[in-house]
Amino acid sequence: MIYQYSGVVHIHSFYSDGSADFKGIAKAASKAGAKFILINDHDTLAGLHREGEQYLHGVLVLVGSEVTPKKNHFLCYDINSVPSNKLLPHQYVSQVYEQGGFGFLAHPDHKENPMFPGKMNWEDWDLDNAVGLEIWNYFSQWMASFKNKKGLLKSFLFPKATLSPPRSETLLKWDRLGKQRPVPAIAGVDAHGGRQLSWIPNILSSYKYQFKTFRTHILAKEPLKGIVHRDRHIILSAIKSGRSYLVNHCAGRVEHFQFYLQHLNNQWHMGEEVKQRPNMSLNVILPTKAHMKVIKDGKLLLQRKTNFLRLPNPDPGVYRVEVYKGHVRPRPWIFSNHIYIRN
C-alpha cells in the first residue's frame, strides 16, 4: 500500500529573512492542510539548534538550509553544518554530500526582473553529485510576472494569476539529465511570511496563502505515525529519491494521484529505475478527468482528456506526466517525477 502526504518545501523563518518562528509557520501550514514543511533559512541552521525538528500543530517541521551566494542558490537537507556561500558551487554542493546530506538547485532558471535587478539562476551545471532540481518556485514565478509598476500592481492584487507551468528550459534540462541518472524534483514556495499593512493583510506574502500554491506530495510505503525521527526518515528519503509529485493547489487539491509501472504483480513508482521487460505497462490515475500529457525523453508522447491511462509495452526512456485542469484556459495542475525505464 502507498500512502501520500502533502508538504510545503522552501520556507524562510525569522532565523533569516522570514517573519515567523516555527510554531507560527506550522500553524499556517496546518490551516492550509499540509502534513510537513521544510525550512530553508539562508546560510544557517539556527532554527534547528534553537527549536529543533518537531511536530507543531500536527505538522512535522524539518530543517535544512539554503546556501545563498549572489547566484547558484542551493537547497540542502540532512546536514550538520551549512557550507560557506563564499565557495564555488561544486565545492559547497560537494560539502553537503560529503556530510551525508542532499540537495536541489534552487530556482535554476530564475528570470531576472528589470525592476529588481539580481540574478538567482544556476550557471554551473557541471556537478558530480546527484543533485535534484527545484523545477517550480512560486516566488520566482511571481517575480517574473511583471516588468513595470502597472504589472507589479496587477501581480500584487491577483497573485494566483501569475502561476504558470515550470519553465520549459528547466523541464528540458531535467529530462535530459534523467537520461544519465535519476534526478528528483521538488516544487518550492520560497515563502518569507506575511506582515500587516494597517488592517489590510499582505496576501501576497502570507504564509497561509502561499502554502496553498505549490506543494510537493510524497509517496510512502508506511504511514506517518507522529514519531519525529521515524517520520523524518520517511519524508526525506521520499524527497531525496523523487518518490513524489508536484501540485498547484490553486488549480485543485489532490488527495490521490497515481503514476506507476506495472509488470505482473510488481509495481514501480515515481523516482524508481527498472530494466525493461516484456508485458510492462505505464499507468496513470487522476482524481478527476483532466488534460493529461505523457512526456518521454523530453518530448510529448501522447495527450488526451481522461482520468485513466494505460500505456502497454513502453520503450526504454525517461517518462513523466503533466496534468492541466480547465477548459478555456487550462491551468497547470500536477507534474510527476520521472519513472526511468532502462535498457
Q: Structural domain boundaries of the chain?
A: 3-248, 258-342
The CATH architecture annotation of domain 258-342 reads Sandwich (2.60)
Distance CA 164, CA 250 (A): 11
Is the per-residue pLDDT at 19 higher than 80? yes
Greatest alpha-carbon pair distance for the chain in Å reads: 65
**CA-based nearest residue to 172, from 128, 227, 125, 102:** 125
DSSP assigned state of 113 = B
Is the per-residue pLDDT at 163 higher than 90? no
Give percent of the chain with pLDDT exceeding 90. 78
pTM above 0.75, yes or no: yes
- Residue 229 and residue 53 in contact, taking contact as beta carbons nearer than 8 Å: no
Kindly indicate the confidence band of residue 251, based on its pLDDT and cuts at 50, 70 and 90: very high
Q: How many CB atoms lie within 10 A of CB 3?
A: 12
Is the per-residue pLDDT at 199 higher than 50? no
Is the per-residue pLDDT at 118 higher than 70? no
- Cell output for 230: 521515524
Kindly indicate the confidence band of residue 200, based on its pLDDT and cuts at 50, 70 and 90: very low
100-114, 146-160, 214-228: range with lowest mean pLDDT: 146-160
Q: Is 143 left (phi over 0), alpha (psi -120 to 50) or beta?
A: alpha
Kindly indicate the confidence band of residue 203, based on its pLDDT and cuts at 50, 70 and 90: low
Kindly indicate the confidence band of residue 227, based on its pLDDT and cuts at 50, 70 and 90: very high
Kindly indicate the confidence band of residue 78, based on its pLDDT and cuts at 50, 70 and 90: very high
CATH code for 3-248? 3.20.20.140
Amino acid identity of 126? Answer: D
Distance CA 42, CA 125 (A): 21
Contacts of 286 (CB under 8 A, 6+ apart): 257, 292, 306, 307, 308, 323, 334
Q: What is the mean pLDDT of the chain?
A: 91
User: C-alpha dihedral over 145, 148, 149, 154, to 10 degrees?
Assistant: -30
Kindly indicate the confidence band of residue 326, based on its pLDDT and cuts at 50, 70 and 90: confident
- Residue 251 and residue 318 in contact, taking contact as beta carbons nearer than 8 Å: no
